[in-house]
Amino acid sequence: MDRPLVALVLAGGTGTRLYPASRSHRPKQFLSVTGDDSLLSQTAERASFADDLFVCTRADFADEIPEHAPEATVLVEPEGKDTGPALTYATHRIREEVGDCVVLVLPSDHTVSGNFESVARAGARVAAETGALVTFGVEPTRPDTGYGYIEPGEKREEPEPHAELAAFHEKPDAETASEYVDAGYLWNAGIFAWTPDAFLTAARDTELAPLVDALDDGDAAGGFAAVDDVSVDYAVMERTDHAAVVSATFDWDDLGSWDALERVFDADEDGNVALGDYLAIDAADNVVASDDKHVSLVGVEGLAVVAYDDRVLVVSKGRAQRVREVVSVLKEEGRF
């Protein structure tokens, strides 16, 4: 590729569905869930093949970023307004500092193994040579209702195998998820590649236009004040007429909720999965997570039991996505 590859890691969220491990002062990306290193550290290491590394975060977390990604340039967005404004701001800043390049966008809180670099480079080349906004779609291993889906369109072989992006689909119900998997749709991993010019041109045709204009004038704060919270999928990717999808053949999980630990850790003979010290008596198919606390389970099954700090969460594994409702109430009460 004839231009630099810049990895941009998004690290401004909190990961509310992993409460109480995730809190307002301890976001998901700073947690060491799958090993000794934090999820953010693992992401930075995964992107080490890039020519430059940037991390975009909010002011509350900025001082801690160097502990997890010491080689990164830290970009601090004026306020948290979802991925649309964040990526517009960060892409504009990268163009100012690096110039003509390809930006590889990575969430900071996912787990990935396998041939990530080769897939990422292939997607970057598609972005560089076609001018398309590239998204990476993961081959589903199950009809999951917790992920959005990507519908691939007509296939292309040059400059790397990819497909036109036919449509994005929001998180489905169980029946629809099965239909999506049968139809060959891919999971939306939230990983992208684009040139700054291509992305910012596309953003000018959306509700993010006031932010792009303000960034051109050097007024980032005013630009953020002029736009609403909006995801990059909704604002840009779903509306552009020049997008592509590259199939991600690596193993991927976003650890979006506590039941995801079943896909990361080995279970005991009764199907219990644990992160931390636990005892299970006549208990099966549970997920246990704790910091320095011992958790005992007796006569229960199908639960996620989580104990961090002074907080305890008990939820049915099948309803683990609803933890965000708990967080919503706690935020209103100023207790998150």
Q: What is the CA radius of gyration of the chain?
A: 20
- CA distances, 20 to each of 26, 119, 162, 257, 324 (Å): 10, 34, 40, 11, 11
Q: Which helix (H) or strand (E) holds 245?
A: strand 243-248
167-221 pLDDT tens trace: 999 889 999 999 999 999 999 999 999 999 999 999 999 999 999 999 999 999 9
Task: Report d(CA 115, CA 191) in Å as an integer.
Answer: 15
Task: Note the pLDDT of residue 49.
Answer: 98
Instruction: Tell me phi and psi for residue 306, to 5 degrees.
Output: -130, 130
Lowest mean pLDDT among 14-18, 160-164, 272-276: 14-18
317-334 pLDDT tens trace: 999 989 999 999 999 999
The amino acid that residue 307 corresponds to is: A
Task: Note the pLDDT of residue 55.
Answer: 98
Asked if pLDDT for residue 84 goes beyond 90, the answer is: yes
Q: Nearest-5° angle of CA 46, CA 110, CA 261?
A: 125
Asked if pLDDT for residue 256 goes beyond 90, the answer is: no
Q: 102 has which bridge partners?
A: 5
Q: Nearest-5° angle of CA 118, CA 133, CA 247?
A: 40
Task: Report d(CA 72, CA 56) in Å as an integer.
Answer: 10
Task: Report d(CA 257, CA 171) in Å as an integer.
Answer: 14
40-81 pLDDT tens trace: 999 999 999 999 999 999 999 999 999 999 999 999 999 999
97-156 pLDDT tens trace: 999 999 999 999 899 999 999 999 999 999 999 999 999 999 999 998 888 999 999 999
**Which band of pLDDT confidence, cut at 50, 70 and 90, is reported for residue 1?**
confident
Task: Note the pLDDT of residue 231.
Answer: 95
Instruction: Answer whether 30's CB lies under 8 Å from 64's CB.
Output: yes
Percent of the chain with pLDDT over 70: 100
Task: Report d(CA 162, CA 4) in Å as an integer.
Answer: 21
Asked if pLDDT for residue 264 goes beyond 90, the answer is: no
Q: How many helices (H) and strands (E) does the chain have?
A: 11, 17
> What is the phi-psi region of residue 276: left when phi exceeds 0, alpha when psi lies from -120 to 50, beta otherwise?
left
Instruction: Spell out the alpha helix ranges (H) of the chain.
Output: 39-46, 59-62, 65-68, 83-98, 116-130, 174-182, 196-203, 209-216, 220-225, 232, 323-332
Asked if pLDDT for residue 35 goes beyond 90, the answer is: no
Q: 155 has which bridge partners?
A: 163
Task: Note the pLDDT of residue 91.
Answer: 98
Task: Note the pLDDT of residue 34.
Answer: 83
Q: Whole-model pTM?
A: 0.94
At 62, list the tokens: 């900025």
Closest CA to 91 of 188, 239, 211: 211
DSSP code of residue 237: I
3-state secondary structure 108-160: CCCEEECCHHHHHHHHHHHHHHHCCEEEEEECCCCCCCCCCEEEEEEEECCCC
Instruction: Answer whether 125's CB lies under 8 Å from 1's CB.
Output: yes
Asked if pLDDT for residue 36 goes beyond 90, the answer is: no
Task: Note the pLDDT of residue 15.
Answer: 87
Task: Report d(CA 216, CA 91) in Å as an integer.
Answer: 12
What rounded mean pLDDT belongs to the chain? 96
